[in-house]
Amino acid sequence: MTSPRRYLMCRPTHFAVTYRINPWMDPTAPYDNALAVAQWESLRRAFLDLGHTVDLIDPLPGLPDMVFAANGGTIVDGRALGVQFRDAERADEAPAYASWFREQGLEVTMPKHTNEGEGDILLAGDVLLAGTGFRTAHASHAETQEFLQRPVITLQLVDPAYYHLDTALCVLDETNVAYLPEAFSPGSRSVLRQLFPNAIIATPEDAAVLGLNAVSDGRNVVLPVQATELSAALARAGYHPIGVDVSELRKAGGGPKCCTLEVRP
Ligand code: ARG
């Protein structure tokens, strides 16, 4: 059921909050780069302690959000779909991640439409769940399906605080997810109920600490330590929650999953 995973991460050497492209970011508020690095190290350590492999991509100066490796691409069956960011501030991250994918021998294609990688595209069993509404364009869902050759299910995000799918939904294993219903349109909520009748429903309080921005290997779920109700619900459902504190990265609107891109060779 659980097998060792391969993750790509980017040390937040140049992490900062200097612009505002989501409601969590306040460029006038203080942040602590050293604390961000220390918290990120604890996340990396949690993955290593679980027996997973963590690859690192070199952080580039002037790209304060590059720590959010989930936005670097979507990799399934050795095929890597690159990204195209909505915002100019992050544009230069796209070629950096694509180069890393090519160095690994992955087949890479770049999207024509806005696509923010695993921020919005999540593999759930055999299908890809794809968010739209704020970042990844609906038009990119078709090119995602075409290149990655997996059925794509569109989910409409409606709350600007949950601007990426991975802030509102976490894939737990091949057949189940946790999510915040309020983050989705009525039609998408209905689709989620049909696909995942046993889903764990998160509370607004869990979501507000980015609790759903979690990384699961099918049993161990690495999530923000502040998401106490979600953690308890996961344990009741037979998962093993592991709390990490990445509160400094939350100032940019990111959590554990944002920092983590799964490499599926
Ligand atoms: N500041 C970044 C942005 O707004 C945060 C990205 C978070 N990544 C994620 N996968 N949700 O683009």
How does pLDDT run across 211-239, given as a tens digit for each residue? 999 999 999 999 999 999 999 999 999 99
> Is any atom of ligand 1 closer than 6 Å to the C-beta of 259?
no
Structural domain contains residue 109: yes
| Ligand 1 pocket mutation pick from 71, 165, 259 by most atoms within 8 angstroms of CB | 71
Q: How close are the terminal C-alpha atoms of the chain, in Å?
A: 18
Number of H helices, E strands in the chain: 7, 15
pLDDT in tens, 130-162: 999 999 999 999 999 999 999 999 999 999 999
Q: Which of 248, 259, 181 is nearest to 215 (CA)?
A: 259
Average pLDDT over residues 246-257: 98
**Please, which residues bridge with residue 241 across strands?**
221
Residue 164 alpha carbon, nearest atom of ligand 1: 11
> Is any atom of ligand 1 closer than 6 Å to the C-beta of 131?
no
Location of structure tokens 């869902």: 141
Contacts of 129 (CB under 8 A, 6+ apart): 121, 122, 123, 153, 155, 165, 169, 171, 177
pLDDT in tens, 23-51: 999 999 999 999 999 999 999 999 999 99
Question: Does an H or E element contain 142, and which?
Answer: helix 138-148
pLDDT in tens, 45-94: 999 999 999 999 999 999 999 999 999 999 999 999 999 999 999 999 99
pTM of the model: 0.98
Structural domain contains residue 1: no
Structural domain contains residue 192: yes
Measure the CA–CA gap between 25 and 170, rounded to whole angstroms: 22
pLDDT at position 2 is 81
pLDDT at position 112 is 98
pLDDT in tens, 187-204: 999 999 999 999 999 999
Beta strand pairing call for 261-262 and 6-9: antiparallel
Average pLDDT over residues 248-257: 98
Query: Residue 199: phi, psi to the nearest 5?
Result: -60, 155
The amino acid sitting at 215 is: V
Residue 119 alpha carbon, nearest atom of ligand 1: 10
Distance of CA 258 from the midpoint of ligand 1 (Å): 6
Structural domain contains residue 226: yes
Measure the CA–CA gap between 187 and 133, rounded to whole angstroms: 13
Structural domain contains residue 207: yes
Structural domain contains residue 110: yes
Grade residue 166 by pLDDT with cuts at 50, 70 and 90.
very high
Query: Which residue range forms the structural domain that includes residue 72?
Result: 6-262
Measure the CA–CA gap between 134 and 77, rounded to whole angstroms: 27
Q: What is the residue-averaged pLDDT of the chain?
A: 98
Grade residue 13 by pLDDT with cuts at 50, 70 and 90.
very high
CATH of the domain at 101: 3.75.10.10
Is 258 among the residues known to form the active site?
Answer: yes
- Active-site option among 10, 52, 141, 164: 164
Beta strand pairing call for 107-109 and 177-179: unpaired
> Is any atom of ligand 1 closer than 6 Å to the C-beta of 226?
no
Protein residue whose Cα sits closest to atom 7 of ligand 1: 254
Distance of CA 248 from the midpoint of ligand 1 (Å): 13
Is 141 among the residues known to form the active site?
Answer: no
Q: How many beta carbons lie within 10 A of that of residue 58, not counting itself? A: 10
Structural domain contains residue 219: yes
Structural domain contains residue 154: yes
157 is written with which tokens? Answer: 């995000």
Number of domains composing the chain: 1
1 pLDDT exceeds 70?
Answer: no
Measure the CA–CA gap between 236 and 89, rounded to whole angstroms: 41
